[in-house]
């Protein structure tokens, strides 16, 4: 039986007592949380953390990639504790972190010229290299393998901790196995509170995705996990490298060479699907998918970019970063996935991103998080003939907005932007009060409506323009060049009735217009739904 009690104290922040009954004995672990300023590291804090590591305990610390869960890499018992705290299978080897290049030769055999060159170029930094291990490294750390992964991180807190902790710190990402890797101390706290001795809070990490792993025991060397150090960057230093075929979703029955890459990793609780195609198709497809799921009562998350976010209307929409700077996307990736977990969404749709530079790491992690479920954006987007319906009346203050609101209240298979426009609108005005009274009596409202003048922007390939009267259609057809989808409402729904303007007349006349509109809009919805099913 496991029982957590959360407890916070301002002076010395501790969190999460973890009680565990073991044959009647209760083990209590208190996680010490200390803030550390990268530019002014308190010696006393690092000494405390280093002592914990040397004594076989666990300390989470920031690196430039993600937060790591540190333990003495040369202590088999400490490795066991690491696996237990993460709930991670113990055949999944750990990376040993060093702070001094001179420490490398004690833990590995055969440091090739290529490895020296890569270390020279990228250490300290987000590069992990695989070597044959020396006898000093216990199998508990390498998951039973004769090889060992080594990295020299760039973060100053990490480096000081490594030196203070004895020089060799094993550190997997400090998340519960299967959850997105932590990029802030808060993420670590969520997963590890009460399970580890200490968390060093150094703020948000710089990169946000784990290091590039290169296996130096094969010739040519092989990239087992993409990261911020790209294939091109590695090749510029040592010439040709191979890339593990199982990365980036290539069809293969082989297991990935890095044991950790086979697990359902980095995954949010909700089902994530990547939508792939041209950016325009991706947005339209995600809008449609989010709309359909929401209609079914599901809570939908959408991963958007700065460039597209304003296009979405349905679901919980989060911006992951800008396409102009892919590093911003890498940095936010895990944070966004964790936020969706916190909000308990049922499913998540993500745009896809370029695989240039750090993009190959982003898409690799995203595809793993999605269990390689990829949706063809074009297939969905191309089914949609119209994405926008615009009702055009004379002054856009009564029949037009009524028609639009009636359509919004229909059960539509597809999501449309539904709007109304007026041929003569000099300045924005609210809806006519009598029209509003009629709508209210039918549990609808025109509240917030403002009249808008019709313009050329309302004529587009994917926009259905429906005029309330013949003369508006005629005017549009004669005044504008692009008039592909312009109809009168009555013509489009094949109901041969006029929709009279009730302007200046008693309420009952508005009521009559409403009834005609209601009949026509019902037919319109049926027609649109039939169109969407094709």
| Cβ-contact 519, 495 below 8 angstroms | yes
Q: Which is nearer to ligand TXA, 260 or 315 (CB)?
A: 260
* Residue closer to ligand TXA, measured from CB, 153 or 401: 153
- Applying CB under 6 A, which part among 60-68, 331-339, 372-380, 484-492 lies near ligand TXA? 60-68
**Residue among 186 and 527 whose Cβ is closer to ligand TXA:** 186
Smallest gap, in angstroms, from Cβ of residue 191 to Mg ion? 11
Binding residues for ligand TXA restricted to 158-187, rule: CB under 6 A: 171-173
Residues 6+ apart with CB under 8 A from 51: none
Q: Residue 92, interface with Mg ion (CB under 5 A)?
A: no
Residues in Cβ contact with 323 at an 8 Å cutoff, skipping those fewer than 6 apart: 305, 306, 307, 329, 353, 354
In 342-493 the beta strands, taken as DSSP E runs, fall at: 347-350, 374-376, 388-393, 417-422, 463-467, 486-488
Edge-first strand order for the sheet with 347-350 is 316-319, 300-304, 347-350, 271-276, 374-376
Site string for ligand TXA, 380-399 (x = CB under 6 A): --------------------
For Mg ion, the closer of residues 61 and 454 by Cβ is 61
Facing residues of 419 across strands? 390
For residue 17, the surrounding DSSP H or E stretch is strand 14-22
> What minimum distance in Å lies between the beta carbon of 95 and Mg ion?
9
Give the length of the chain.
534
Provide the CB-side half-sphere exposure for 323 (13 A, CA).
Answer: 13
44: Cβ–Cβ under 8 A, 6 or more apart, which residues? none
The two beta strands, 463-467 and 388-393, are parallel
Nearer to ligand TXA, 172 or 400 (CB): 172
The answer to whether residue 259 forms part of the interface with ligand TXA (CB under 6 A) is yes
With a CB cutoff of 8 Å and minimum separation 6, the contacts of 41 are 156, 157, 160
Residue 329 interacting with ligand TXA (CB under 6 A): no
Q: Which of 361, 332, 337 is nearest to 211 (CA)?
A: 361
Could you say which of ligand TXA, Mg ion, none residue 200 binds, taking C-beta under 5 to 8 angstroms by partner kind?
none
Residue span 123-162 as binding mask against ligand TXA, x where in contact by CB under 6 A, dash where not: -----x-x-----------x--x-xxx-x-x---------
Q: Which residue has the tokens 């784990």?
A: 210
- Chain positions 261 to 300 lying near ligand TXA, rule: CB under 6 A, are 261
Q: Which is nearer to ligand TXA, 95 or 99 (CB)?
A: 95
**Residue 72 partner contact from ligand TXA, Mg ion, none using kind-dependent CB cut-offs of 5 to 8 Å:** none
Residue 516 binds which one of Mg ion, ligand TXA, none, with CB within 5 to 8 A depending on kind?
Answer: none
Contacts of 90 (CB under 8 A, 6+ apart): 79, 80, 83, 140, 143
In whole angstroms, how close is the CB of 252 to ligand TXA at the nearest point? 17
Q: How many residues bind Mg ion, per CB under 5 A?
A: 1
93 binds ligand TXA (CB under 6 A): yes
Regarding 173 and contact with Mg ion (CB under 5 A), the answer is yes
Footprint (CB under 6 A) of ligand TXA, residues 188-217: 210-211, 213
How far apart are alpha carbons 375 and 392 in whole angstroms?
A: 36
Which positions lie near ligand TXA, rule CB under 6 A?
63, 65-66, 68, 92-95, 128, 130, 142, 145, 147-149, 151, 153, 171-173, 210-211, 213, 224, 257-261
Residues that bind Mg ion (CB under 5 A): 173
């Amino acid at each position: 039986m496991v029982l957590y009690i959360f407890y916070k104290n301002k002076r010395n922040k501790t969190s999460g007592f973890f009680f565990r009954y073991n044959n009647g004995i209760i083990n209590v672990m208190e996680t010490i949380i200390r803030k550390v300023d990268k530019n002014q590291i308190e010696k006393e804090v690092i000494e405390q953390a280093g002592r914990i590591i040397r004594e076989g305990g666990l300390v989470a610390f920031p690196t430039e990639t993600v937060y790591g869960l540190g333990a003495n890499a040369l202590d088999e018992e400490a490795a066991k504790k690491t696996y237990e705290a993460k709930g991670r299978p113990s055949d999944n080897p750990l990376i040993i972190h060093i702070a001094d290049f001179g420490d490398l030769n004690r833990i590995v055999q055969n440091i090739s010229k290529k490895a020296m060159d890569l270390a020279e170029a990228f250490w300290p930094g987000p590069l992990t290299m695989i070597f044959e291990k020396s006898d000093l490294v216990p199998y508990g750390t390498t998951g039973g393998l004769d090889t060992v992964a080594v990295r020299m991180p760039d973060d100053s807190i990490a480096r000081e901790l490594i030196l203070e902790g004895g020089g060799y710190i094993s550190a997997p990402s400090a998340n519960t196995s299967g959850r997105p890797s932590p990029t802030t101390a808060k993420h670590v706290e969520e997963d590890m509170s009460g399970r580890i001795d200490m968390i060093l809070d150094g703020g948000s990490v710089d990169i946000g995705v784990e290091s590039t792993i290169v296996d130096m025991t094969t010739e040519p060397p092989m990239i087992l996990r993409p990261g911020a150090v790209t294939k091109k960057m590695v090749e510029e230093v040592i010439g040709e490298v191979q890339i593990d075929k199982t990365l980036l979703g290539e069809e293969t029955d082989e297991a990935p060479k890095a044991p950790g890459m086979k697990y359902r990793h980095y995954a949010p609780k909700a089902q994530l699907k990547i939508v792939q195609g041209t950016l325009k198709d991706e947005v339209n497809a995600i809008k449609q998918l989010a709309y359909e799921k929401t209609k079914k009562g599901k809570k939908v998350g959408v991963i958007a970019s700065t460039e597209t976010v304003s296009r979405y209307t349905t679901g919980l929409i989060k911006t992951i970063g800008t396409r102009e700077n892919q590093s911003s996307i890498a940095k936010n990736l895990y944070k966004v996935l964790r936020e969706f977990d916190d909000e308990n969404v049922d499913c998540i749709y993500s745009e896809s991103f370029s695989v240039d530079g750090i993009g190959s790491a982003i898409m690799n992690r995203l595809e793993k998080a999605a269990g390689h479920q990829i949706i063809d954006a074009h297939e969905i987007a191309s089914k949609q003939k119209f994405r926008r319906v615009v009702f055009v009346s004379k002054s856009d203050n009564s029949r037009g907005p009524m028609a639009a609101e009636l359509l919004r209240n229909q059960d539509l298979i597809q999501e449309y932007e539904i709007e109304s426009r007026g041929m003569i609108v000099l300045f924005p005005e609210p809806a006519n009060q009598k029209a509003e009274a009629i709508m209210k009596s039918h549990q609808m409202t025109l509240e917030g409506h403002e009249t808008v003048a019709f313009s050329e922007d309302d004529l587009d390939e994917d926009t259905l323009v429906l005029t309330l009267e013949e003369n508006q259609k005629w005017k549009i057809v004669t005044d504008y060049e692009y008039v592909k989808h312009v109809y009168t409402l009555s013509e489009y729904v094949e109901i041969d009735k006029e929709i009279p303007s009730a302007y200046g007349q008693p309420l009952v006349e508005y009521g009559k217009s409403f009834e005609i509109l209601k009949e026509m809009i019902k037919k319109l919805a049926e027609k649109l739904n039939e169109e969407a099913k094709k």
